[in-house]
Structure 1
Amino acid sequence: MRVALAAVVAAAVVAAPALAQSVDASGRTTYDAAFFQRFQPANALEVVRRVPGFTLEQVEEDVRGFGQAAGNVVINGQRPSSKSDTIEVVLARIPATRVARVEVGPGTLFGAEYSGKAQVVNLILTGEGGLAGTATGTLRRQYDGKLFPEGSVSTLLRRGNSTFNAAIGVNNEQTSEEGYDTLRALPSGELLEYRRKINTIEDPNAFVSGSWDYKAGQFETARFNARYAFDRFRLSQTNQVLPTGGTARDDRLTQRFHFDEWEVGGDVQRPLLGGGVKLIGLATRRDRIDRELSLLRVRSDVIGGNEQQVRSQRDEAVLRGLWTRPDFHGWSVETGVEGALNRLRSKVDLFGFGAEGARTRIDLPVDDAVVTEHRAEGFANASRSLTAKLRIDLALNYELSRLTVDGDADAKRSLHFWKPKLNVDWRPGDGWRAQASIARTVAQLRFEDFISAAELANERVNGGNAELVPQRSWEALATVEKQVLGDGLVKLELGYTRTALVQDRVPTPEGFDAPGNLGDGTSKIARATFDVPVARLGIKGGRISGRLSYVGTSVQDPFTGEQRPYSGASPFVYEVNWRQDLGDFAWGVGFSGDDPYTFYRRNELDTLYPGNPYITAFAEYRPTRSTTVTLSVDNLGDFSTRRGRLFFDPDRRTPDPFRVEDRVRNQHILPYLTIKHNFG
Structure 2
Amino acid sequence: MARALLLGTIAASSLVMPDIAAAQTPSPSDPQSTAATPQAGTSRTTTYEAAYFAQFAPRSALDIVRRVPGFTLDLGSTQTNLGQVDVRGFAGTAGNVVFNGARPTSKAESLEVTLSRIPAQRVVRVEVGPGDLFGSDYAGKSQVLNVILSEQSGIDANITAATMRRYDGYINTDIQGSALVRTGQSSFNLSAGTGRNRQLEEGTDTLTDELTGLPVEFRRKHNSYFNRDPFLAGSWALEKSASEAFRINLRWQPSRFDLTQENRVSPVGGPQHDDNLFQKYRDPVIEVGGDITQPLLGGAIKLVGLATRRQRDDKDTYLERDGLISNGGSVVGGFDQRVQAQRNETIGRLSWTRADLAGFSFEGGAEAALNTLDSTVDLFAFDQSGNRVRIDLPLDDARVKEKRGEVYFSLGRNLSPVLRIDGGLNYEFSHLTVTGDTSADRTLKFLKPNIALDWKPGSGWHSRFSIRRVVAQLDFYDFISVAELSTDRVNAGNENLQPQRTWEIRAMAEHPFLGQGLIKLDLGYDLISMLQDRILITDDQGNTFDAPGNIGTGKRTFATLTLDAPLSRVWNGLRVKFDGTIQRTRVNDPITGDPRKFSGFFPAWQWSVDIRRDIGKWSYGVAVNDNARFTFYRTDEFDSNFNGGPYGTAFVEYRPTARTAISFNVDNAFDTSGNRERLLFFPNRAAPIDVIREVRERNRHISFGFTVKQSFGGGGGTGVAKDD
Paired residue for 1:605, among 625, 633, 638?
638
Tell me the residue number matched to 1:584.
617
Say whether 1:288 aligns with 2:312. Answer: yes
AA matched with 2:204: Y
Tell me the residue number matched to 2:550.
517
SS in 1 for 2:132: helix
Higher relative contact order (CA 8 A, sep 6+): 2
CA-to-aligned-CA distance 1:501-532 (integer Å, 9 cap, x gap): 00011111130111111101100111111111
Question: What is the CA-CA distance between 1:361 and the residue it aligns to?
Answer: 0.4
CA-to-aligned-CA distance 1:318-364 (integer Å, 9 cap, x gap): 00000011122332211100000000110000001111112110001
Say whether 1:20 aligns with 2:38. Answer: yes
Q: In the TM superposition, what are the counterparts of 1:315-464 in structure 2 within 5 Å?
A: 315-464=344-493
AA matched with 1:591: V
AA matched with 1:44: A
Tell me the residue number matched to 1:172.
196
Q: Distance in 1 between matches of 2:411 and 2:644?
A: 46
Paired residue for 1:508, among 537, 545, 563?
537
Q: Distance in 1 between matches of 2:310 and 2:688?
A: 43
AA matched with 2:248: F
Tell me the residue number matched to 1:34.
51
SS in 1 for 2:222: strand
Q: Distance in 2 between matches of 1:207 and 1:543?
A: 35
Question: What is the CA-CA distance between 1:655 and the residue it aligns to?
Answer: 7.8
Say whether 1:306 aligns with 2:335. Answer: yes
The percentage of aligned residue pairs carrying the same residue is 47
SS in 2 for 1:113: helix
Tell me the residue number matched to 2:23.
none
Q: Distance in 2 between matches of 1:527 and 1:488?
A: 17
Q: Distance in 1 between matches of 2:351 and 2:335?
A: 51
Q: Distance in 2 between matches of 1:42 and 1:422?
A: 39
SS in 1 for 2:701: coil
| Distance change in 2, residues 1:619/1:140 (3 Å) | same
TM-score under structure 1 length normalisation: 0.96
| Distance change in 2, residues 1:24/1:657 (3 Å) | farther
Tell me the residue number matched to 1:219.
243
Answer whether contact 1:20 1:486 (CA < 8 A) is retained: no
Tell me the residue number matched to 2:585.
553
| Distance change in 2, residues 1:223/1:20 (3 Å) | closer
Answer whether contact 1:134 1:155 (CA < 8 A) is retained: yes
| Distance change in 2, residues 1:298/1:649 (3 Å) | closer
Question: What is the CA-CA distance between 1:23 and the residue it aligns to?
Answer: 4.0
Paired residue for 2:183, among 133, 145, 159?
159
Question: What is the CA-CA distance between 1:313 and the residue it aligns to?
Answer: 0.6
Answer whether contact 2:429 2:443 (CA < 8 A) is retained: yes
SS in 2 for 1:295: strand
Answer whether contact 2:287 2:309 (CA < 8 A) is retained: yes
Q: Distance in 2 between matches of 1:535 and 1:655?
A: 60
SS in 1 for 2:229: strand
CA-to-aligned-CA distance 1:465-501 (integer Å, 9 cap, x gap): 0001100010111111111112211111111110000
Say whether 1:237 aligns with 2:293. Answer: no
Question: What is the CA-CA distance between 1:58 and the residue it aligns to?
Answer: 2.2
SS in 2 for 1:439: strand
Answer whether contact 1:21 1:487 (CA < 8 A) is retained: no
Tell me the residue number matched to 1:194.
218
Question: What is the CA-CA distance between 1:656 and the residue it aligns to?
Answer: 9.2
SS in 2 for 1:648: strand
Question: What is the CA-CA distance between 1:104 and the residue it aligns to?
Answer: 0.6
| Distance change in 2, residues 1:132/1:359 (3 Å) | same
Say whether 1:138 aligns with 2:134. Answer: no
Question: What is the CA-CA distance between 1:647 and the residue it aligns to?
Answer: 1.7
Answer whether contact 1:43 1:91 (CA < 8 A) is retained: yes
Tell me the residue number matched to 2:75.
58
Question: What is the CA-CA distance between 1:20 and the residue it aligns to?
Answer: 3.3
CA-to-aligned-CA distance 1:164-214 (integer Å, 9 cap, x gap): 111111121001100011111123321111111000111111100111000
Say whether 1:566 aligns with 2:598. Answer: yes
SS in 2 for 1:197: strand
Say whether 1:672 aligns with 2:710. Answer: no
Gaps of 5+ in 1: 1-17
Q: Distance in 1 between matches of 2:467 and 2:516?
A: 29
TM-score under structure 2 length normalisation: 0.90
AA matched with 2:55: R
Q: Distance in 1 between matches of 2:37 and 2:483?
A: 56
CA-to-aligned-CA distance 1:281-338 (integer Å, 9 cap, x gap): 0011000100010011023211211000000110000000000111223322111000
Q: Distance in 1 between matches of 2:72 and 2:279?
A: 34
CA-to-aligned-CA distance 1:244-283 (integer Å, 9 cap, x gap): 1112111111000111111111111110000110100001
| Distance change in 2, residues 1:360/1:579 (3 Å) | same
| Distance change in 2, residues 1:19/1:227 (3 Å) | closer
Answer whether contact 2:575 2:611 (CA < 8 A) is retained: yes
Q: Distance in 2 between matches of 1:332 and 1:475?
A: 24
Q: Distance in 2 between matches of 1:513 and 1:535?
A: 55
Question: What is the CA-CA distance between 1:657 and the residue it aligns to?
Answer: 6.5
Question: What is the CA-CA distance between 1:62 and the residue it aligns to?
Answer: 2.8
AA matched with 1:24: T
AA matched with 1:578: I
Gaps of 5+ in 2: 1-35, 78-84, 324-328, 714-724
Aligned positions, number: 661
Question: What is the CA-CA distance between 1:654 and the residue it aligns to?
Answer: 5.2
Paired residue for 2:278, among 254, 260, 273?
254
Answer whether contact 1:590 1:615 (CA < 8 A) is retained: yes
Q: Distance in 2 between matches of 1:223 and 1:23?
A: 27
Q: Distance in 2 between matches of 1:219 and 1:611?
A: 53
